[in-house]
Structure 1
Amino acid sequence: MSNPATPENPATPENAASTAGRPFGIRARLRGWRLRTKLLLATLGLLTLTCVTIGVLNHVVMNVFLVQQLDGTLLEASDRALNFPLPPAGAPPSDSPGSGDRTDPLDAPGQGGPGLLDVRFYGNTAFSNGVTLDDGTRQALSAGDVGILASVPADRVPVSADLSFGDYRLVGQVQEQTGAVVVSGMPLAATNNTLLWLGISTAVVSFVGLLLTAALGYLIIRRSLRPLEEVAAVATNVSRMPLDVGDVALAERVPESLVHSGTEVGSVGLAFNKMLDNVAHALQVRQRSETKIRQFVADASHELRTPLTSIRGYTEMVRLTEQLSPEGIQSLGRVEAESRRMTGLVEDLLLLARLDEGREEARSEVDLTRLVIETVSDARIAAQDHHWRIQLPDEPVTVWGDPGQLRQVLINLVTNAHVHTEPGATVDVSLARERRTEGGIDAVLKVADDGAGIPADFQERIFSRFARRDAARSNRTGSSGLGLAIADAIVSAHHGTISVESIPGNTVFTVRLPVQPDGSVRQGGDGTEPHEAEPHGTEPHGAEPHEAPPEN
C-alpha cells in the first residue's frame, strides 16, 4: 500500500518538488536579509577565512622550521655517535644483565640531554642503554621500539616515528669500521608543544580580532548605510501619499546633504530626487488636465439644465394643449423619458463636480437604520420580482453626514443589485457595527445578491466613472456608469470606504462609515453650532429589528 501524500512522506510528487526547491528557499531567505547583515557576515567570513589560512601557513612553516632545526641537531649527535669507541667483543646487549657498565655516547657528559636516543645494530643484535626521560629515570626499549628502530634506513635522512615513550625524529648511519648501523633519535615533544601553543595563540588572537571586527564593522556599516535609510524613509513617505486623486503637492525630497554623485548612496539620492521631480511634474500636468475636464463637465452640465428644463416644459405644454395622434403621443413620451434621463445624468455630473471640489454640504446626525428600511421598502415596490431580506441590529446605527447623499449611496447600491440580476434573485441588505483594530467603531452596510457575479478584471475599475461592462451583468437599463462612482465619491467624502467582492452566486458591496457615538459633539459642514446627538430607543422607528420576512 502506498503512503499518503503528507509532509513526512518525501516520496510523493508534492514533497519531491518541495525538497527539490529547498535550496531556492534558502537563497530566497538570504535575499531577504538586510544589507548591513550581509556586509557584516561577508566581512567576518572573509576575515575568518584569512585567519584560518594564516594559521595553517604559520603551522606549516613553523613545523618545517622547527623540524629542520631539530634535524640539524640530530645529525650532529648522530655524527658524534659514529665516533664513539666500539664495545668489546662479545659484550652483552644494553638491556641484558651486566650491561650497566657501558656508557651510551648521547648520555655522556656534554653529549646531549634527557630524551636522546642511541642504538647500535650489529647484525640482528641491538645495543642500547634505553632512554632518559624528563624526570631523570631511564626507560628500556621495548621489543616494538627495537623493531621500529631496526626499520630506520641507514641513509642519513631523518624520519619521524611514534615510539612507546613519545614521538621521535630518527636518523640511521653505517659505522664504516664495523659495519654496524647507528640509529640516533631526538624527541619531538618540544616541537609539538611549540606548534600547539602557536595554534592556540593564533586561534585566540583571531577570535578576539573577529569580535573587534564585528563590533567596529557593525558601527561603521551602520553609519555608512544611514544615508540609505534616510532615502528609504523618503520613499516610504512618498508611497503613503494619495497620489491617485486630487491636487498632490509632492514636496518630499532626499536632503541635499545626501545628494551628490561622489558616493553610491549619494548617486541613489540624486537619482531618486530626479525621479520625484519628474513624478511631481507629471502629477501637476495630470491635475491641470483633470481640473480642466471637470470644470468643463461642470460648466456643460450646468448649462444643460436650462434647455433640459425647457424641453420638459414644452413637452408637457404640447401634451396639454395639442391634439396628437397615437404615434405623436408615443413620440412625445419618448422625448419626456429621454429628457428625464438626461436630467438625471446632468445632476449626477454636477454632484460629482461638487464632491471633486471638496465642498461639504450641511452635516447632521443620520440614522442609517431608517435609511435602510425606507430604501429597501421603495426597492421592493420597484422590483417585486426579487426576494428582499433585511438584517438590522437591535440599536439604531447613526453616523455624521449628509442625509441626502447617504440616501443616494443606498439607492445606487440597491438599484444596482436588482437591476443587474435576473428576476427571482435574492438581495440581502444588512447593517451592523464593527470595532476597528486601531480603535473606533464603523457602521458596516452590506448589499449582497446571488446573481451571476462580476469578473475580476472589471472589479478593479468598477468604481471608475462611466465604467460599464456589458458582459459582466445585463445592461437592460442603459446605465450611465456613474452610480458606483458617485457612491464611492460620497463615501470618501464621509471618511469611509466602499469595496466589492464577487464570485458567481455571491456579490457583496461593503460600505464602512465611522459611527457617531451617542452624546459626542460635532460641527456641521454649514458652520452651525455643534449639538449633542439625541438618544434613540431600542426599536428602530417601529421597524422590525432583525431580518424582515422575504417578499416574493
Structure 2
Amino acid sequence: MAAPALRSGSLRRRTIVAVLALVAVLLIVLSVVVDVALGARLRGQIEERLRDRAAAAASLVGTVDDTDLAERLSDQGLAVRIDSAGGGSIVAGPSPEQLRDGPRGPGGPGPGEPAAPQPTATGSAVTVVASSVGGDDDLVTLSSTLSDGSTLTLTASAVGVQDTLVQVRWIMAIASAVVLALAAGAVIVIVRATLRPLDQVSEVARSIGAGERGRRLRPTRPDTEIGRVATALDDMLDDVVGAEEAARGAERRLRAFLSDAAHELRTPVAGIRAAADTLVRADLEGPDREMLAAQVAREAARASRLVDDLLMMARVDRGLELTRADVDLRGLVRAEAERAPLLYPHLDLRATVPDAPVVASVDVDRIGQVLSNLIENAARATGGRGSVRVGVNEGPTEVVVTVADDGPGVAEGDRERIFDRLVRLDPARSSTGVGLGLPIARGIARAHGGDVRCLPNEGGALFVVTLPRGERRG
C-alpha cells in the first residue's frame, strides 16, 4: 500500500491565515462583549433615572395633586401615566410613539442621556411600595406602586442607546480593520523571519542535489524544532553520502574482481585450447601426446578450482547456510594435519592441541575448508618445503586456532589487503594461487560470528582464527 502524499501547502500562508483568523475571532468577541456591556450600561442608566423620578414623585404625593405631579414629570421628557386608587387616570408628556422618534423633551435631557439628580423630600412617610421595569429596544418603562395606592408609570426613550451602540459598532469595526491590517503586516514580517531557516534547508538540499555533497546545515540550536529537523537532515545526508560512496566502492571492486577473474580464467582456458588444438591437428604419439593430455587436465583442474572459488565467494556474499554443531576442534586440526602431507610431501607440519577438549559451535565442513585454505596458503608461502605450525586453544569467550609458517611473512601494510579478492603479493607468497583462499576463509569465519586476522610474527606469517565457543557434554 502506497504511503499517503505529504500535504505540501504553503506553511507561511497557512500560518499567516491561522494567526489572522485568530485575531479576527478575538476582535469579534471583543466587539460583541463591548456592545453587550455598553448597551446594558446605558439602559441601566435610564432605569436609574426613572427610579430617581419615581422616588421624587413619591415624596410629592399628598403635597401636590396628580395633574401637577404628572406635568412636572413630563417636563423632563418622560411619558407619564398616573392611575389613582379611585380609578381615575392622568396622562402627560409625549406618547410612546413620539418617544421612539427620539424628540428632546423641553428642559429635559435627550434620549439616553442621564438626568441631573433631583432633590427629594426627606422625612415623608409616602414611599414607593413596589416597582417593575419593562419595555423594548426603543423604550424603557418603570411601573411603581405608591404608598397611597396609586400606580405611577414612567416611560423613557432608549433610542439614544441604539444610536450610541451603532456609533460604537462603527468605531469598533474600523478599529478592528485597522488592527487586522497592522497585525497582517506584523505577522507576515515575523513569519518570514521565523521560516527563513527552512529556506536555508531548501537551498542546502538543492546544492547537495547539484553535486555539493559536503554541504551541511549544522544548526546552532539542535534542541529546537528546526534544529532537530536540520540535525536529522544532516544525519540522513551523511548516511546517503556514505551509502553512495560505499556503493561506488563496491562497484569498483566488483569491476576489478570481474576483470581479474576473467584474466585468471583466460590463462587456463588458453592453455586448454592450445593443447586441444595441437592434439586435434597434430599427429602425435607416445610421450608428446601424453604430455599435452596432462597439460589439458592440469589447466582444466586449475580453471575448475577457480570457478569453484568464485562460486564460494558468491555464496559467502549471499550468506552461507551453516549446519552448526558443537565440535571438538582437536580432531579437526589433527585431520587437516594428517591430510597435508598427502598434498605437500615435503612440508613440515605439526599440530599442537591441548589435552582437554576444545569445543566450538561450527559447521565442520566449512571450518575444515578454512583450515585447508590457511594451510595451503602457508605451503605456498614456504614453497612446500617449510615449517608450518597449527594450534588450537580455548579462550574465555571464544576458541582460537593459529596457523604459523616460517616463510617471508606479510608486511604490515598488506595484512588487511591480502583478504581482498584476487589480491596476490610477491611471488614468494603466491606462486600458484589466484588470491581467493584467504577471502573465503575470512568470509566463512565471519559467517560463524568469528574472524580471521593476520598478526605480526617474527620469522613468518601468523594467521589467527576466532570462533564461538560451544557447550561441552558430560
The TM-score normalised by the length of structure 2 is: 0.47
Q: Which one has a bigger Cα radius of gyration? A: 2
The TM-score normalised by the length of structure 1 is: 0.41
Per residue, is there more helix in 1 or in 2? 2
